[in-house]
């Protein structure tokens, strides 16, 4: 098949719409549903991310995409009991690829609502069962077991989008896109991200353990497929905060850092101890937790809205308790798709437990950024490669 007609483009008024190949066959097969224009943009970007992440780390990888940027990405390491409870995966049998998706989804569950999932490995029944519980638009993977496909075909009243991609497909080296009737041409960003990029450690502290190297690779590959400007916080092989599409680098760092803080606050004992009303939907739980850890929750408590969500009135998580809990965070890695122009990015990152930084370098103020890292004993590596994505 060389062409697939779509219902419309980005918006209903944008017709006709299709995906097609100028040469050869499409590398994808729709196994269920009717994916749209934005679905395929998410699917193809997400697939590149997980494919490269597995190649770089040797571990199964997954991503959760929304509007052509990852809400989360991760490799498939086992989950702790706390992580299982945080990600609503208690009591579930989880394969390595299922763990990868649970982690990717868990980076920012609020933003992953209605996501597009991408898997580096064949989708098995364990992954399909977890996907079946979440609000998701579709999934792309190099294959599906019969049991997994049967589970996914029942999702969304039979309309869940399931796309299979040829894992051996290699795109052309030159790519094109049209903007306002003008065709742009560029070489495809086939730059390979690997551990050798992390050798140029520019700070006094040069202690970079293997786990931090892996997290740097996760950050860089995630950034490669995130709309620029972008910054990504990573811990234990999992993105925990992605700041995408900001005009200012510090705003990226703040946005991603705020998400990383929220990720940690979701593991606070008071949050894990919340008693929800029986039968509450997973998205409603996510929304309630997000409000609970926000600064507005005391106002919500005063309004009595808690009665629709919780069995008992929750005790407020105070500002001081949140500050103290976030202060326990450590060992976090942050990556940036372009250089940090000022030390303020380092100052903000360290507040979220950042110990390792990877970025291209090349700013006229590199010396100031390095000095700020040295002030806090942070390890920083320069890759020399910008990773803009538009």
Residues 97, 102, 103, 109, Cα dihedral to 10°: 150
Q: Which two tokens stand for residue 368?
A: 């100031």
Q: Which residue has the tokens 């992440």?
A: 53
Q: What letters, b where the CB count within 10 A reaches 16 and e where it falls short, cover 218-249?
A: bbbbbbbbbbbbbbbbbbbbbbbbbbbbbeeb
Cβ contact 105:72 at 8 Å: yes
Cβ contact 5:17 at 8 Å: yes
CB atoms < 10 A from the CB of 59, how many?
20
Strands (DSSP E) contained in 210-363 are 230-235, 238-244, 332-336, 354-359
Q: Which two tokens stand for residue 195?
A: 């551990």
Q: How far is CA 140 from the centre of its chain?
A: 15
Residues 361, 363, 365, 369, Cα dihedral to 10°: -30
CA nearest neighbour of 59 among 72, 82, 78: 78
Would you say how long the chain is, in residues?
390
340 CB-side CA count, 13 A: 32
Active centre residues (catalytic): 66-67, 229, 390
Phi, psi (deg, nearest 5) at residue 284? -70, -35
Residues 285, 275, 99, 211, Cα dihedral to 10°: 100
For the chain, give percent helix, strand, coil, nearest 5. 35, 20, 40
């Amino acid at each position: 098949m060389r062409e697939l007609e779509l219902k419309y483009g980005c918006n209903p008024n944008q017709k006709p719409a299709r995906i097609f190949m100028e040469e050869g066959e499409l590398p994808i097969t729709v196994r269920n549903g009717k994916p749209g224009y934005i679905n395929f943009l998410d699917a193809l970007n997400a697939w590149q991310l997980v494919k490269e992440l597995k190649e770089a780390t040797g571990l199964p990888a997954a991503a959760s995409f929304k509007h052509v940027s990852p809400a989360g990405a991760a490799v498939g390491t086992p989950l702790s009991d706390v992580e299982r409870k945080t990600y609503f995966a208690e009591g579930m049998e989880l394969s390595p690829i299922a763990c990868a998706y649970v982690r990717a989804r868990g980076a920012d569950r609020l933003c992953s609502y209605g996501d597009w999932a991408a898997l580096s490995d064949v989708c098995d029944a364990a992954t399909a069962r977890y996907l079946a519980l979440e609000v998701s638009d579709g999934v792309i993977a190099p294959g599906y077991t019969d049991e997994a496909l049967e589970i996914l075909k029942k999702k969304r009243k039979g309309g869940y989008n399931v796309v299979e991609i040829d894992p051996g497909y290699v795109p052309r080296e030159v790519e094109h896109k049209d903007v306002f009737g003008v065709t742009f041409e560029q070489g495809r960003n086939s730059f390979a991200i690997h551990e050798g990029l992390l050798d140029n450690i520019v700070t006094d502290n040069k202690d970079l353990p293997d786990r931090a190297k892996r997290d740097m690779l996760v950050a860089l590959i995630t950034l490669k497929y995130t709309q620029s400007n972008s910054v990504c916080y990573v811990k234990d092989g999992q993105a925990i905060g992605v700041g995408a599409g900001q005009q200012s680098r510090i705003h990226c760092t703040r946005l991603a850092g705020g998400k990383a803080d929220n990720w940690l606050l979701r593991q606070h004992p008071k949050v894990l101890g919340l008693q929800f009303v029986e039968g509450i939907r997973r998205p409603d739980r996510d929304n309630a937790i997000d409000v609970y850890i926000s600064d507005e929750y005391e106002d919500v408590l005063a309004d009595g809205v808690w009665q629709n969500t919780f069995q008992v009135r929750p005790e407020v998580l105070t500002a001081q308790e949140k500050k103290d809990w976030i202060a326990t965070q450590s060992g976090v890695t942050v990556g940036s798709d372009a250089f940090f122009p000022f030390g303020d990015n380092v100052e903000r990152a360290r507040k979220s437990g950042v110990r390792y930084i990877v970025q291209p370098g090349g700013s006229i103020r590199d010396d100031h950024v390095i000095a700020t890292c040295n002030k806090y004993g942070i390890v920083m590596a320069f890759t020399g490669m910008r990773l803009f994505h538009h």
